[in-house]
Amino acid sequence: MSGPSGTLDLMNAESDERRSAPADGDAEPGDGLGSRAPHFIKRSRPLHLSWQVGVFVVGLAVVAAGIVMLPLPGPGWLVIFGGMAIWATEFVWAQLVLRWTKRKVTEAAQRALDPKVRRRNIILTVTGLVIIAGLVALYVTTHGLSLPWKAGH
């Protein structure tokens, strides 16, 4: 597999290869959904419930940290998806959300590689830069190189 589409196909193949037996009837056999807790934990209902609570709390802490990082410096979305991945080790709903997200990201990456879309994006970027350069030039000719706020006074 070579080239960008080969990489995307590899990402899909990796997500499809992650198969496990479902726990407690959470999912159909062979669809890769369900708990990934160790077998000895899944055998005991109270232990498995405690495990799920622990996974949920850790995932919640990571997602909350990611949300805090959205307006602040830091990899907010990456951390949020990390928290979702933690939840996906135990909860089917998180596994489905991650599968949907991976599919949408793959589709967006494939669309971005389309020559027509790339050409349109380049034209839009250049047009935006020309407009910004024109506004900066207009400001400089009108106000000179002085800053709009009082710096150093």
* pLDDT per position as a tens digit, 81-90: 899 999 988 8
The band of 63, judged by pLDDT with boundaries at 50, 70 and 90, is very high
Residue 41 · residue 48 · CB < 8 Å: yes
Q: Could you tell me the residue range of the domain that residue 32 belongs to?
A: 3-113
Number of structural domains the chain divides into? 2
Does 134 share its domain with 89? no
Does 7 share its domain with 24? yes
Does 53 share its domain with 91? yes
Does 105 share its domain with 122? no
Q: Determine whether 41 is exposed, middle or buried from the number of CB atoms within 10 Å of its CB (0-12, 13-18, 19+).
A: middle
| 86, 89, 140 from 48: Cα distances, Å | 16, 13, 66
Say what the pLDDT of residue 31 is. Answer: 64
CA 7 vs. chain centroid, Å, equals 17
Q: What angle, rounded to 10 degrees, do the helices at 45-69 and 76-88 form?
A: 170
- For the cut 50, the answer to whether the pLDDT of residue 126 exceeds it is yes
Residue 55 neighbours by CB under 8 Å, 6+ apart? 86, 87, 89, 90, 91
Does 109 share its domain with 119? no
pTM score, two decimals? Answer: 0.51
More confident residue, 136 or 25: 136
Of the listed ranges 40-44, 54-58, 64-68, 105-109, the one predicted with least confidence: 40-44
Does 127 share its domain with 97? no
Does 101 share its domain with 26? yes
Does 55 share its domain with 45? yes
Token digits of residue 135: 């506004």
